[in-house]
Amino acid sequence: MKRQTIALVAHDNRKKDLIEWVEFNKASLLNHKLVCTGTTGRMVEAALLQNRSKHEPKPDITLLKSGPLGGDQQLGALICEGKVDLLIFLWDPMQPQPHDVDVKALLRISSLYNIPTATNRSTADFIISSTLFGTDYEPQVKSFSEYLGRNVEI
């Protein structure tokens, strides 16, 4: 099994859903590196440490800033650098977010770099239960050489 880096993010009204999902998938998630934004990361860490047996690996979690304080942008940068294998981002489509432009930018970057992205719990379930999960799967990323080499007039 390949150790992957999984980004976990949830808006306030979806944090409970994400924590339930993390607890249900604890055995699988403990075999991977996790990167989380702010409060979500602290909650994920607490959930993974709760009732931890001596035989379970300690969670490998990197905590970024809170989303509205730049965490979404930090995560986007990690995706651009090829340091994230998949994104579980339970966002709240019914609640306006003060950092909505950052949320859209993060979802745009995950699509641009073609990383598997779940924006709801059902899709997260499909991803973690896929035969490709934990493998050496390399998503095809479009070449941007034409875009980078375009003529720009000043």
Give the helix ranges, DSSP H, for 30-149: 38-49, 71-80, 100-112, 121-128, 145-148
Q: What stretch of H or E contains 5?
A: strand 5-10
Q: What is the mean pLDDT of the chain?
A: 92
**35, pLDDT greater than 80:** yes
Q: Which domain holds residue 63?
A: 5-148
pLDDT band of 1, cuts 50, 70, 90: confident
pLDDT at residue 14, rounded to an integer: 94
pLDDT tens per residue across span 96-146: 777 778 889 999 999 999 999 999 999 999 999 999 999 999 888 888 888
The per-residue pLDDT for 141 is 86
The predicted model gives 142-151 an average pLDDT of 84
Number of structural domains the chain divides into? 1
Contact 115, 107 (CB under 8 A): no
Residue 130 belongs to a domain: yes
Query: How would DSSP label each residue in 82-101?
Result: T--SEEEEE--TTS--TTHH
Confidence of residue 61 (pLDDT cuts 50, 70, 90): very high
Whether residue 115 is contained in a domain is answered as: yes
Q: Is residue 38 part of a domain?
A: yes
Domain-embedded: residue 154:
no
Domain membership of residue 153 (yes or no) is: no
* 65, 37 contact by CB (below 8 A): yes
Looking at the domain assignment, is residue 82 inside a domain?
yes
Name the residue with higher pLDDT: 10 or 153: 10
Strands of the sheet with 60-64, listed across from one edge: 60-64, 33-37, 5-10, 86-90, 117-118
Please indicate, yes or no, if residue 18 is contained in any of the structural domains. yes
Helix (H, G, I), strand (E, B) or coil at 1: coil
CATH of the domain at 40: 3.40.50.1380
- 13 and 95 in contact (C-beta within 8 Å)? yes
Q: Mark whether 100 is an active-site residue.
A: no
Mean pLDDT across 35-51: 95
Residue 132's pLDDT is: 94
Would you give the distance in Å from CA 65 to the centre of its chain? 14
Task: Kindly name the residue from 12, 60, 72, 92 that is annotated as catalytic.
Answer: 72
